[in-house]
Amino acid sequence: MSNNEKREKLAINFNELAEASLTQGKLDEAYAACLKTANSKQELASACKNIGDILQAKGDIEVAISYYNKAIKILPDFAEVHANLGSMYAKQQDWEKAIFYYQKAIYIKPDLVGVYRNLAKVWQYIDQEELATECTYQTLILEPESATAKEHLNLGNKLLELDQIEAAINCYRQAIKLQPNLSYSYQKLGEVLTQKGELESALVVLERAIKLTPKNPRCYYLLGEVLQEKKEYDLAIFAYGNGIKLKPENHLFHKKLGDVFQKKGELKEAIACYQQATEINPNFFWGYYNLGNIYMKQQRWDEGIYAYRKATIINPNFSGAYYNLADAFLHNSQKEEAITAYLEAVRLRPEHSWFSRHSVLWKYLLESRLEEVLNLYQNATQKEPNSILCHLNLGEIFTEKGNIKEAIFSYQKACYNKTLKLNPAFVENYGNFHHLGHPNFIIIGSQKSGTTSLENYISQHPQVLPAIKKETHFWSGKFHRGIDWYLAHFPPIPKSKNFITGEATPNYLVTDEVPERIYSLLPSIKLLVILRNPVDRAFSQYHHWQRLNWEDRSFEVAINQELEILKTTPKQPQGDRKYWQLSGNYIGRGVYIEFMQKWMAVFPREQFLILRGEDLYERSDDTMKQVFNFLGLPEYKLAKYKKLNSGSYAPISDLLRQRLSEYFQLHNQRLEEYLEMKFNW
């Protein structure tokens, strides 16, 4: 045996002797053994730690710390020494140092359960509940069997409060594993899974909770939410009904049941539920608010006004109630009351696109209270200089006043704020927002075919800087404002930089004068057209118009009236000028061939990208790859393709679908032949 091997063996023996003596409480013997071990370089760090442990046990804290520091100097990644230092400083209530050494120990050795446990106590002692919860969670992850099901459940609740969803789910699952018959764990897990949108899993868990505790009304409430989200409305009604049987005095059950009936179109039953909710709780805002919404659908304006007024009394700070109240007044021919209510909605929420949400009310407001609303937004932009929509709204107000120069300045400020928010590096490196922008593309249509989603998907590309709003309507209705007014809506991009910008105004497709106007000023612009099955497009537009309270007729009546009118213009299947002066134009907008011919008589085919609306959602990755390639952008895959601006309504009747399909059939064939594309409608 070599001398080195002898020294190593001797050191190991001395270490074992020291540890044994320390365990037996023989501090002096342990101390002496460690001193002998310290002569060995190989075991010097461990020896210093052992001496520190002995001195700490004897109460010689300062000397113990010095030996721990020696151990760290020799072996900086000695996690157990950092942990011991943390514990010593914690005893001294030197929290800053205790936290530092505990965190250092965890960084070096992430599986030190005791350190997480001790650090959690420190965080709790200094009222850092969130950090204490995180450490406790790590403890249970490392040693899940060390806690009871109730402890896992309580920790899950704390994590849920901190919005740490996945961690909470893990705790609830562990609680179920440890105690499979604990109903509350299933209930909480079901609640979180519902929030995450994992409906099938939530359904299984909640059904198990109900089986364990069939008289728990909360479980029926959660089950109803899942079923409602799954559009299984009859089952949702059954679930909420069971909850009401168990707890009839809970107004929320009645409200949720009313929501389901409303989605089913059973408005009489929905009204009864909302009225019951308000009888139970006379200060229930959402009961009156939803009653107002139904009365508006039924054109019961006076009752709608009453319900919305009650809602504003209960919650005077909710802008949406004033907005809907204004709409009810407008339908009831109470123009001044409508303007006053609308102004209150704007005052409560200036950071909102009021100019686009209800153009009629906005127009009336600017006509009658222009200076008042101007002062409101000038004050709002001073209070919120980084706001996007406040500056944009101010630009709309200056536009209405005819002060185009001030409008342009406000648009540029909104554009600067939006670009700064989306891409601060671009603003820092290239942004000169004293210049005007220049669009590279325009989505020209068609309406209710996916233009909102398409514009949103394009805007998510890292080399796209979007306009300050989706629809400018410049080429169709605001051309007289001047090209500078229009260009102020876009961020200025240096020609040498590989960024683009653009807008989407879907009514451009069907407006006669737009192609020539755009070509006269932007002859090289890239044009995107997205076309949807015209039957589905018409039905979607109808329901959109209904939501805006622009349509009072049934869909069947509206379509029958349009078909009768269109019979008189066989050479204009999209309708003549008289037809387009009427409300809706549900059919005419879907005769795409008539509009595409006009556009392609002005612009060359290569400047168009024509997409199927169905492909945008069914083949999202492939469609957006095609879009980005057309726009000259590198390939980019979005994390999620969320369907925007879509409505929820009962399907179209088979008879009406057949009648519309027959009307569109010939024109769809003409479109396919003209574009040399298959749409398969």
Which is it for strands 441-445 and 526-531: parallel, antiparallel or unpaired?
parallel
Handedness of CA 469, 475, 480, 484 (dihedral sign): positive
What CA–CA distance (Å, rounded) separates 44 from 529? 76
DSSP-assigned letter for residue 500: B
Q: Which secondary structure element, helix H or strand E, spans residue 527, and what is its range?
A: strand 526-531
Alpha helix ranges (H) inside 59-213: 61-74, 79-91, 95-108, 113-125, 129-142, 149-161, 165-178, 183-196, 199-212
Give pLDDT, residue 64. Answer: 87
Domain ranges (residues) in the chain: 1-68, 77-139, 350-435, 441-675
Give pLDDT, residue 28. Answer: 57
- SS3 readout for 435-484: CCCCCCEEEEECCCCCHHHHHHHHHCCCCECCCCCCCCCHHHHCHHHCHH
Rounded to 10 degrees, what is the CA torsion of 358, 360, 364, 365? Answer: 10
C-alpha separations of 276 from 253, 289, 597 in Å:
10, 14, 57
Which residues lie closer than 8 Å to 189 by C-beta, 6 or more apart?
Answer: 169, 172, 173, 176, 205
Which three-class secondary structure state does DSSP give residue 531? strand
CATH number of 350-435: 1.25.40
Task: Give 27's Cβ-side CA count (13 Å radius).
Answer: 9
DSSP-assigned letter for residue 289: H
- The number of angstroms, rounded, from the C-alpha of 100 to the middle of its chain's C-alpha atoms is 37
Q: How many helices (H) and strands (E) does the chain have?
A: 37, 4
Rg (CA), the chain: 35
Helical packing angle, 319-331 and 285-297, nearest 10°:
30
Which residues lie closer than 8 Å to 136 by C-beta, 6 or more apart?
Answer: 116, 117, 120, 155
Q: What is the DSSP string of 593-647?
A: HHHHHHHHTTS-GGGEEEEEHHHHHHSHHHHHHHHHHHTT------S-----S--
CATH number of 77-139: 1.25.40.10
- For 428, other C-beta atoms within 10 Å of its C-beta total 9
Same fold, 77-139 and 441-675: no
What CA–CA distance (Å, rounded) separates 327 from 361? 8
What CA–CA distance (Å, rounded) separates 584 from 566? 13
Place of tokens 């949807």: 532
DSSP-assigned letter for residue 490: S
Whether residue 630 contacts residue 648, with contact meaning beta carbons closer than 8 Å, is answered with no
- The number of angstroms, rounded, from the C-alpha of 239 to the middle of its chain's C-alpha atoms is 28
Length of the chain: 681
Place of tokens 């085919």: 605
Give pLDDT, residue 570. Answer: 92
What CA–CA distance (Å, rounded) separates 463 from 338? 43
pLDDT average per 10 residues of sequence, the chain (681 residues) = 42 52 56 55 73 83 86 87 88 90 88 84 86 81 81 86 87 91 92 92 95 94 94 96 96 97 94 98 98 94 98 97 95 95 96 79 91 96 96 95 96 95 90 86 95 96 95 94 97 88 96 97 98 96 84 92 94 94 93 98 98 95 96 94 78 93 96 96 95
DSSP-assigned letter for residue 302: H
Whether residue 506 contacts residue 451, with contact meaning beta carbons closer than 8 Å, is answered with yes
Residue type, 341: A
Which residues lie closer than 8 Å to 382 by C-beta, 6 or more apart?
Answer: none
Of the chain, the end-to-end C-alpha distance in Å amounts to: 90
Question: Out of 3.30.465.10, 1.10.1530.10, 3.40.50.300, 3.20.20.70, which CATH number does the structure's domain 441-675 have?
Answer: 3.40.50.300
Which residues lie closer than 8 Å to 129 by C-beta, 6 or more apart?
Answer: 123, 158
User: Which architecture does CATH list for 1-68?
Assistant: Alpha Horseshoe (1.25)
Whether residue 270 contacts residue 262, with contact meaning beta carbons closer than 8 Å, is answered with yes
Give pLDDT, residue 484. Answer: 97
